[in-house]
Amino acid sequence: MKNNNLNKNLLICGDNLKALDDLIKQGIKVDLIYLDPPFFSNRHYEVVWGDEAEVRSFKDRWAGGINVYIEWMKERIIKMCDVLKDTGSFYLHCDWHASHYLKVMLDEVFGYHNLRNEIIWCYRGAGYPKKDFGKRHDTIFRCSKTKEYVFNLDDVREKYAEATIERFKHHIGNVRKSGDFGIQKLNPLGKQPDDWWAIQPIAPSAKERLGYPTQKPEALLEIIIKASSNKDDLVLDPFCGCGTAMAVAQKLGRKWIGIDISPTAISLIEKRLEKVGAVSGKDFDSIGMPTTLSELKALEPFEFQNWVVNEMQAKQSPRKSGDEGIDGHIEKSLYAEEAGIQVKQSEKIGRNTIDNFETALDRKKYKRGYVVGFSFTKNAHEEAARVREDKGLYIKLISIEDLLKRKSGLLK
């Protein structure tokens, strides 16, 4: 990352505060920033992510109230403003819980007169509160640093309504002359979009859906990226989640940098990008993923579990609770028979864990299983040997240290 002309796109796993500092130090400047940060909504998500069946604990709680949340955001947005080119654009996606507080903060960072639009993304949905109007919109604040910024109007024009086309069909494409206000002229490329966008969220059955709780439709990002960047421009998403901005930027020929603190999110984005033709190591690099014992010990429990299951080339159990002692499943296609995985983010795993896992494997009728943790007691190894001898049930104990080494034949 020596200059703006990145040779490869970047996925950065880590706190965006530090990542933004690194970009600033290396002189990186971006053309467009889109961020969809955790909303101040006091919710907690436990999510199963699509075909990959990856579970993530998505925290959206802010101890200390709205003022703490705004200061947390402001610290990061100041650095984003530093990274943004003078001709760049900034889009902040939020909802009604904090939008008015965020607007005041953005005025402080970018300047009151540099708010270009308050865009309302409106959509339909199921279910209504009994004593309120239905909540059916998000807010997107669009800011610039100066009055000189990219805005590709013709790339995002919309089709006129059929009634409008019929009414003005004789005037489509006519050029309005100076002072000619008698006849309305229709642009042959379509009408200029308004600051409210009616775009439906991703349907539960849609191919695009990955299961991420706040996943935004690609159609929404297409408007933003087309309007406020050109080909080969650099797009930054500092809360990149499941990677919608990265996937759309890749399709539209933009360069990009995505940042997320979750290793699970980065792994998901890598797989998503591969599906749109971006090759890891060739088209993009991933940096900051956990690679040491201390880094793995510091992960949140379900981030740790996701990491282990991913490294084992397995599939996550679809529920956090009620998984009956099986955290992941190895398919028959990977090995001669199906197998179960249990993940323990602990040291000195003992006999009781092996006993309980034995019961879980029996319940699933598995003849093979793997327990993964930092270390195991002598009794654990003895119990695994006993059940193999007495019952023909193969339980392999795998240390995180061995998993990090990527030893060949690990599952054999």
Cα 126 to Cα 95, 201, 217: the distances in Å are 18, 11, 17
pTM above 0.85, yes or no: yes
Q: Hey, what CATH topology would domain 9-156+194-289 get?
A: Rossmann fold (3.40.50)
Q: Is 50 exceeded by the pLDDT of residue 1?
A: no
Listed by start position, the domains of the chain span: 9-156+194-289, 159-192, 294-405
d(Cα 90, Cα 145) in Å, to the nearest integer? 8
CATH number for the segment(s) 294-405 = 3.40.1350.10
Which pLDDT belongs to residue 40? 84
**CA pair distance 285, 315, nearest whole angstrom:** 24
Q: How far apart are CA 205 and CA 184, in angstroms?
A: 43
Q: How far, in Å, CA of 9 to CA of 44, rounded? A: 31
What mean pLDDT is reported for the chain? 88
Q: Which helix (H) or strand (E) holds 343?
A: strand 339-343
Are 326 and 340 in contact by the 8 Å Cβ rule? The answer is yes
Question: Do residues 266 and 272 touch, judged by C-beta distance below 8 A?
Answer: no
Q: How does pLDDT run across 351-396, given as a tens digit for each residue?
A: 999 999 999 999 989 999 999 999 999 999 999 999 999 999 999 9
Contact 351, 322 (CB under 8 A): no
- Strand ranges for 210-327 from DSSP E: 234-237, 255-260, 284-287, 315-316
Taking a C-beta distance cutoff of 8 angstroms, is the pair 365, 344 a contact?
no
Q: What is the pLDDT of residues 102-113, one digit of tens each?
A: 999 999 999 999
